[in-house]
Amino acid sequence: MLADSGGGGAIVPFSGDPNHAAPPPPPVRPIRHGVAPPISRVFVSWSSGNLLQVACLSGGRGAEEVAGSVVEVNLAVANGSAEVEQEIDEAEMRRIEYGSVPAFALLQSRRNALADAAAMQHMHSVSERAEWWQYVLQYSKTIGKLLGSPDSLPGLMIEDPRAILKVRERPTSLKAAWELLEIFYVDKNLHSWLPERLVDWLADYDSLLTKTDGTVYCKLSDFQKKLINLQVVENDPDYWNGLSAALSVGWLDVVVNMLRFHGSYQLDQMDNRETENGLVEAVAVLVSTMPRMRPDLPTGKLGQCCTSRPDFIKAWEKWRGQVSKLECSAFWIQCGHQKTRDGLKNLLHIMMGNIKDLTAATSHWLELFASHFLYIRPFTVGFEGMHHLAQKCIQLKPSFGNSGLTGLLNGILSENPEVVLAECTKKFGPWMVTHSMELLAADNEYADIMLHEERPNFGGLSIEELHRLVYAQVLSSHSLTWQIAPTYLSSCLNQGLGLLEILLLKQPIQDNRQVLKTLELCRLYELENVSTNIMKIAGIYHWKHGRKGTGVYWFQQAHDKVRLDRIAQQLFERIGKSVADDNFKQWEGLVELLGSDIGSAGGLEFLHRYRDFKRSLQQALEGRTGEAARQTVEFLIQLMRNPSTPQRFWLPLLHDSVRLLNCKPCPLLNVAETTLLLNKLQELSMAKLRPDFCTNHLPSHALSSVRLALASNLARAILEEP
Amino acid sequence: MADSPSFRRHPLPFSVDLLRWLPSSTSSARLIAAAVHDPTIPASSHLHLLSLPDPASPLASLPLPSRPTALRCSPSVLAAATSSGSLHLLPSSFDTDSVISIPSGAGFHVGPVRGLDCGGEEWVTAGEDGRVHLVSDGGDGRVVARRVCDGKGMLGYEAARWASSAEFATGGAGCGVQWWDRRKGDAVVAQCKGIWGRGVAAGIVHSIDIHPSRKHICVVGGSSGAIFAWDLRWPQQPIPLSGVGLHETAEPICESEVWEVLFDNYTQSSDIISAASTRILPVMMCSEDGILAIVEQDERPLELLAEPCAINSFDIDPQNPSDVVCALEWESIGVLTRGRDAMAAE
Amino acid sequence: MADRQVAQLGPGTACCGWNHCGRRLAAGAIDGTVSVYDSQPSPSSRWQAHEHAIVNVVWLPPDYGDAIACVCADGTLSLWEEVAEDDQLPSWRKCKVFEGGNSHILSVQFGLLLSSLKMVTAYSDGQVKVYELLDSLELDKWQLQAELQNITDPVSRNGKPACISASIAWSPRRGESQQASFAVGFNSDSPHFNSCKIWEFEEAHQRWLPLIELGSVEDKGDRVHAVAWAPNIGRPYEIIAVATSKGIAVWHVGFNPESECRLSTESVAVLPGHNGEVWQLEWDMGGMTLASTGSDGMVKLWQANLNGVWHEQAVLDCNGSHD
């Protein structure tokens, strides 16, 4: 499953009509493989997630060194077309991906807890619960912080008094988009002062609105560059343009700061500019006392803060009165500087809500939109008429180089969550979509239904689940982030666990630490079958690659009785071929590894007894102590008496003991014991005649040499018997 | 409280596998050796020299032939072993021009070497291939590796630690802990299966540390949250420390892999007087489920960190034991500074 | 970077196969050599597997180690596994050779079920054989479990078809309780053999039965160029893609044991495919995106939207210039 590459058909068609015209063909992406054309054959294979391995083979029969090339294509990366990819590098994106896991997981567990509680009390769905949106808000704030906070200024910065725009962390459209969704979909506290919040948002992200058309931010930063070489600012039209632009979007602190650059403030004035200065200052005071309907004002921001609506209306009427009064004042005639007079008057007109001046002062439709709330319809509450106004502003200031942000805002204002989701997919990528769906559905019943409705035409998936699966695939495409994919997969009720199982089984098993990490995920999500499979796969890999100990360890952990028995059987077969001394250590090591606790099969018990016998035999032959020899013989008798000892090993066992039996002056076996062994030998001779007899790899004279040794031992035993 | 513990995460643009404090001179910079890799870029395994408080850009860097699997620091030498089986020694001043390497292969290790420790004159290496080597200075800037044991693939070692100049401990998959004595012909003189949780008959030993003052006691961390102490005087009676295998009601501090254990000199034992005689020092551990904690015999564990991702490695600053640095799975390192008051209040 | 070159293949390379996690690649060459690449530009191993050209390389499931099957142009099939003893570097060892007999082996695929390994081979005379591995540790002991002809109607058994290629796809489910099934289609001169059929192992009678034929009445006899069975992570039905000269058909196959009519098949889309023959079909790990390659040198990616409408999602062009 791929992230939508912006081309062909979207995976979530928001028109909702299956019969609409065929989607345009997707863009063709060339693969750079370095093989000379023509290409005779192409092979592909999916590895984890969206990684596609493409092998291109050359058709030329020439003797080129490189006749083919394998390229790994990450289909989740649309080759830098999405805005996010240009702004945020891969390592930074991974930091965001990691950081959002705990917040996402916490929100899911809260949802589940609320759902459980609701089920107990027969209550309605989770989203109707009062506390839910606050949980989502908390989640939204956590993620927002992760995306970088625009206000995190280092405290030691020396402020340049001539700096118009504060230098701060470069804003990203990802963060801007996230805040936009939070403002409109989650934060109910904002409802009464939504327009002010939008103005604040614009102050933070105005620079991101467009890359081609102008913005207030552009105007001001252009003027800032010019400012260094400017002696008399008030003579420059850009000064006044900048002022009106900044005022139109409500950047009051910028306006007041800029007004103070005015030449009339300078002390060494040759002529009398006191009235002029008074007017400038009067405008500055009016600007800085503009009433604003909001709970608080961050430090550095200007205006008078009104928390209640009646207060605000009262303050607004009063302030407007002051503005009008100044506009009609007689002092203007005494102001000798034409440009100052016009410029200041223009500012007053903006404050009075003159639509013509506002339209002229702003650049982007969104700025015009914001200025409407500030000066024309300051008493707007909530969504009231916003969409209509936006359409009007777009008509007045059509924009071409639109960023994802304006598209997103359009979707929000038209109250169309499908458009919002589509914009997120197209412009901000799978991370944004997956995490922002929580915001969309926080307090919006329509979005909630749209996201969670199961689609029978799509295997019963809902849009929410689909996007989580898509995001999990993106995470799976990187060998560091695949480990966080399970968090998202486990939140998918229908198909998440199925994909998780496949993902876990696709992980490499060569490295034990990595296997343990994969197994830990299996444990977390209670996927015992998967962990057993992984252990078996790791076991066979190590077994085949010369690390038999590790192989057996994994087989044991997986309780792979079939393979352990098979290994035991292989050890049996080695006995038949008489375990040579140098091999014995290795053989012994394996028996040791197999342990005794797994041995429900009688075979292992035999192997352990045989190991004891063999060990003791070696000691007896080396040390020649009577103790070891006696011990060995005891083991031999035990083995021969035990019904679990396969008949085919009787002869090898006896043959192994011949040297011991022959080298001792006194008999090691008593009469009864010798008779037992001779009987076994007899049985063996009889069995030899049967067709199913299994031949050993022993010399042909083995049987007779054993018989001889036993016979002489019996003779001596009879002589010694009291 | 002015002296409360503080923790800071530093995101890095690479994955950190292992971390060690380096002995720092009197200057204010705190130095860390970090073994890092980026799985998406071939041949991107490095040993980085990082400095605190800003570890984002390495001060110096040494490329490694494959992913680092072990990292140890003696007062004068920094050593790193890799997943292909090579060993790299360099002065702890991080002078990358005077690196001495032993390549992987039949003469040394094949496959990951996770057991690595410095015992004064000699380094011990123990690999998953079942081999144990002693590496010593051969003069003329060369090193000599002598094979002590070849498990022929029957055993796989994951940890090694010196106890004295003649004794060291090793541990691995299925073999528990082994005690080696050089005076007895480089042989294993004691062995212990260990204590494992969750019905596991045998787990994997990931890390061993030797008691700083009583060299016959070691602490072992491994699979399924297992942490136990092993006293050579009672080799058949390992002492559970993590709650695993203790009794039904004891809540284990973690149930996943314990990647590293270290005796912690900094944490005051709750009973100082008896500590000198019978009690085992507190032990710090880190785990796959993101726990950094202190465990102590017969005491409730003290959780220092509960991260959302695995803590793969940590180190206590020997010069300044209140400071702990840890390698987090999510491409970052964490620095924990413990305040003495806060610890005493527990 | 979105694209990354991971290996350079030597002269004469004719076919490629990736292992289950897509990190190892085996490439067969026209001179009979096989090279294995481990995320390094040059091969980690290279050996002479056959005297003649290798036409197909397939990896065995990882549950049986790192092993591959090579189909040779002379009609034989060989199995190889990677092993290492003690301190030696890993090397590839021949485990087993299957002769084609009077006909050629065209294609092979492995399936895992009830913790045993099954191998399906398709022959140039339209035969299909199912083998079972007898030993869980070694790859040398195989037992022939069944010999089948890819037809549903016994009347059409007359005569032997001449087959150019065969496409086999096992059901990718690996659950212990799952029914064993695979799909097979031929590219031959006999319409009866061509159409893709799903074979299922019937436990009760211990035999393989053709369960379903994937093809409408008019398209049944079309030559099949490729078959791919999608991983199912929770759909109530299976998805199988079949490529013929008419395009790529996407089938929904219901194995619902509850319903009256146990089996249902529905062709949900016929995708235009490629300008020329389709070479290969591959599903991604979620079974949601289908990748196809064809003689036009393109890799195409196909997806369904939420309304179940299939469309071309992306195109990768491999005919690119020499850079």
SS3 for A167-225, per residue?
CCCCCCHHHHHHHHHHHHHHCHHHHHHHHHHHHHHHHHHHHHCECCCCCHHHHHHHHHH
Q: How far is B313 from chain C (nearest CA, A)?
A: 27
Q: Chains contacting B with at least 3 CB pairs below 8 Å?
A: A, C
Give chain B's domain count. 2
pLDDT per position as a tens digit, A33-50: 888 878 889 999 998 899
User: B110 and C87 in contact by Cβ < 8 A?
Assistant: yes
Q: How confident is the model at residue A19 (pLDDT cuts 50, 70, 90)?
A: very low
User: C301 and A75 in contact by Cβ < 8 A?
Assistant: yes
pLDDT per position as a tens digit, B127-165: 998 899 999 988 777 889 999 988 888 888 999 999 998
Q: What is the DSSP secondary-structure string of B135-168?
A: EEEEETTEEEEEEEEE-TTS-EEEEEEESSSSEE
DSSP three-state, residue A486:
helix
Torsion of CA B298, B302, B308, B310, to 10 degrees: -60
User: Do B52 and B167 reside in the same domain of the chain?
Assistant: yes
Is B105 among the domain residues?
yes
User: Do B101 and B204 reside in the same domain of the chain?
Assistant: no
| Residue C69, strand partner residues | C58, C79
What's residue A1's pLDDT?
A: 47
The rounded distance, in Å, linking the Cα atoms of A281 and A288 is 10
User: B110 and C89 in contact by Cβ < 8 A?
Assistant: yes
DSSP three-state, residue A297:
coil
DSSP three-state, residue B263:
strand
User: Do B170 and B198 reside in the same domain of the chain?
Assistant: no
Residues 6+ apart with CB under 8 A from A249: A199, A202, A203, A206, A216, A362, A367, A370, A371, A374
C306 to chain A, any CB pair closer than 8 A? The answer is: yes
Is B35 among the domain residues?
yes
Mean per-residue pLDDT for C185-212?
88
Q: How confident is the model at residue A78 (pLDDT cuts 50, 70, 90)?
A: low
pLDDT per position as a tens digit, B246-275: 555 566 778 899 999 999 988 765 555 444
Average pLDDT of chain A to the nearest whole number? 82
What is the biggest distance separating any 2 CA atoms in chain B, rounded to whole angstroms? 59
Cβ burial A617-656 (10 Å sphere, 16+ → b, else e): bebbbeeeeeebbebbbbbbbebbeeeebeebbbbbbbbb
Chain B CA closest to residue C7: B42
What's residue A458's pLDDT?
A: 81
User: Do B198 and B164 reside in the same domain of the chain?
Assistant: no
**Angle at B101 (CA atoms; ends B100, B107), nearest 5 degrees:** 135
DSSP state of A87: H
B233 to chain C, any CB pair closer than 8 A? The answer is: no
| Residue B121, domain extent | 16-179
Chain C CA closest to residue A533: C63
What's residue A82's pLDDT?
A: 57
DSSP three-state, residue C219:
coil
User: Do B197 and B342 reside in the same domain of the chain?
Assistant: yes
The rounded distance, in Å, linking the Cα atoms of C318 and C298 is 6
Closest CA to C130 of C116, C49, C186, C138: C116
User: B129 and C39 in contact by Cβ < 8 A?
Assistant: no
pLDDT at A612 over 50: yes
pLDDT per position as a tens digit, A245-272: 999 999 998 999 899 888 888 766 656 7
pLDDT at A321 over 80: yes
Is B4 among the domain residues?
no
Q: How far is C74 from chain A (nearest CA, A)?
A: 21
What's residue B346's pLDDT?
A: 39
In chain B, what residues touch C4 (CB-CB under 8 Å)? 40
Q: How far is A595 from chain C (nearest CA, A)?
A: 19
Between A595 and B182, name the one with better pLDDT.
B182
Is B5 among the domain residues?
no
Q: What is the DSSP secondary-structure string of A456-469?
A: GGGTTB-HHHHHHH
pLDDT at A337 over 90: no
Residues 6+ apart with CB under 8 A from B277: none
The rounded distance, in Å, linking the Cα atoms of B286 and A195 is 50
| Residue C18, strand partner residues | C25
Is B173 among the domain residues?
yes
**Percent of chain A surpassing pLDDT 90:** 32
What's residue B85's pLDDT?
A: 93
Range in A157-161, B17-21, B95-99 with the lowest mean pLDDT: A157-161
Chain A CA closest to residue C315: A28
Instruction: Provide φ and ψ at B229, rounded to 5°.
Output: -100, 150
| C4, C39, C87: residue with CB nearest B106 | C87
Closest CA to C182 of C123, C129, C237, C124: C129
User: Do B130 and B252 reside in the same domain of the chain?
Assistant: no
Whether complex ipTM tops 0.90? yes
What's residue B57's pLDDT?
A: 87
The rounded distance, in Å, linking the Cα atoms of B180 and A516 is 27
B11 to chain A, any CB pair closer than 8 A? The answer is: yes
Neighbours of C321 (CB within 10 A): 9
Q: How confident is the model at residue A3 (pLDDT cuts 50, 70, 90)?
A: very low
pLDDT at A307 over 80: yes
What's residue B71's pLDDT?
A: 96
Work out how many CB contacts closer than 8 A connect B with C. Answer: 10
Is B6 among the domain residues?
no
Distances in Å between the Cα of B56 and the Cα atoms of B32, B51, B335, B343 are: 12, 8, 13, 30
End-to-end CA separation in angstroms for chain A: 89
Range in A322-336, B212-226, C21-35 with the lowest mean pLDDT: A322-336
Mean per-residue pLDDT for B162-179?
90
What's residue A7's pLDDT?
A: 38
pLDDT per position as a tens digit, B56-103: 889 999 999 999 999 999 888 999 999 999 999 998 888 888 899 999
Mean per-residue pLDDT for C166-179?
79
C97 to chain A, any CB pair closer than 8 A? The answer is: no
In chain B, what residues touch C89 (CB-CB under 8 Å)? 110
Q: How confident is the model at residue A721 (pLDDT cuts 50, 70, 90)?
A: confident
Stretch 533-552 of chain A: residues touching chain B, C-beta under 8 Å: 546-550, 552
pLDDT per position as a tens digit, A417-459: 898 998 888 888 899 999 999 999 888 888 888 899 888 888 8
User: Do B157 and B82 reside in the same domain of the chain?
Assistant: yes
Q: How far is A197 from chain C (nearest CA, A)?
A: 36
Token pair in block for residue A374: 């500030």
Mean per-residue pLDDT for A133-142?
92
What's residue A664's pLDDT?
A: 65
pLDDT at B297 over 60: yes
User: Do B218 and B257 reside in the same domain of the chain?
Assistant: yes
Q: How far is B99 from chain A (nearest CA, A)?
A: 27
Chain B CA closest to residue C87: B106
**CATH number of the CATH domain containing B46:** 2.130.10.10
Chain C CA closest to residue B43: C40
What's residue B209's pLDDT?
A: 95
Provide the residue type at B312 as one letter: N
User: Do B31 and B163 reside in the same domain of the chain?
Assistant: yes
Work out how many CB contacts closer than 8 A connect A with C. Answer: 296
The rounded distance, in Å, linking the Cα atoms of B245 and A490 is 31
User: A549 and B310 in contact by Cβ < 8 A?
Assistant: no
Task: Give me the residue label for tokens 């023959």.
Answer: C277
Name which of C23, C44, C87 to mutate to probe chain B: the one with the most chain B Cβ atoms within 10 A of its Cβ. Answer: C87
What's residue A596's pLDDT?
A: 58
Cβ burial A33-43 (10 Å sphere, 16+ → b, else e): bebeeebbbbb
Name which of B67, B132, B154 to mutate to probe chain A: the one with the most chain A Cβ atoms within 10 A of its Cβ. Answer: B154
A142 to chain B, any CB pair closer than 8 A? The answer is: no
Residue B288 class from Cβ within 10 Å (0-12 exposed, 13-18 middle, 19+ buried)? buried
Domain boundary among B179, B207, B226: B179
Instruction: Provide φ and ψ at C85, rounded to 5°.
Output: -110, 130
User: B154 and A589 in contact by Cβ < 8 A?
Assistant: yes
The rounded distance, in Å, linking the Cα atoms of B254 and B257 is 8
What's residue A65's pLDDT?
A: 60
Is B7 among the domain residues?
no
Residue A595 class from Cβ within 10 Å (0-12 exposed, 13-18 middle, 19+ buried)? middle
Domain boundary among B122, B156, B179: B179
Domain boundary among B179, B202, B231: B179
Range in A183-192, A468-477, C7-16 with the lowest mean pLDDT: A183-192
Is B333 among the domain residues?
yes
User: B152 and A586 in contact by Cβ < 8 A?
Assistant: yes
User: Do B215 and B163 reside in the same domain of the chain?
Assistant: no
User: Do B159 and B237 reside in the same domain of the chain?
Assistant: no
User: B129 and C89 in contact by Cβ < 8 A?
Assistant: no
Contact, C264 vs C249, CB < 8 A?
no
User: B42 and C39 in contact by Cβ < 8 A?
Assistant: yes
Q: How far is C209 from chain B (nearest CA, A)?
A: 44
Closest CA to B206 of B153, B257, B154, B155: B257
What's residue C139's pLDDT?
A: 94
User: Do B213 and B174 reside in the same domain of the chain?
Assistant: no
Stretch 145-204 of chain B: residues touching chain A, C-beta under 8 Å: 151-156, 158, 173-175, 200-202, 204
HSE-CB at B31 with a 13 A cutoff on CA atoms is: 18
Range in A123-132, A176-185, C192-201, C215-224 with the lowest mean pLDDT: A123-132
What is the biggest distance separating any 2 CA atoms in chain A, rounded to whole angstroms? 149
pTM listed for this prediction: 0.89
pLDDT at A13 over 80: no
User: B42 and C40 in contact by Cβ < 8 A?
Assistant: yes
| C40, C86, C89: residue with CB nearest B152 | C86
Name which of C1, C4, C9 to mutate to probe chain A: the one with the most chain A Cβ atoms within 10 A of its Cβ. Answer: C9
Q: How confident is the model at residue A681 (pLDDT cuts 50, 70, 90)?
A: confident
Task: Give me the residue label for tokens 């997103």.
Answer: A408
Chain C CA closest to residue B110: C87
User: A50 and C284 in contact by Cβ < 8 A?
Assistant: yes
In chain B, what residues touch A520 (CB-CB under 8 Å)? 256-257, 288-289, 310
Average pLDDT of chain B to the nearest whole number? 86
pLDDT at B26 over 80: no
Provide the residue type at C58 as one letter: V
B153 to chain C, any CB pair closer than 8 A? The answer is: yes
Range in A54-68, B327-341, C209-223 with the lowest mean pLDDT: A54-68
User: A41 and C320 in contact by Cβ < 8 A?
Assistant: no
pLDDT at A243 over 80: yes
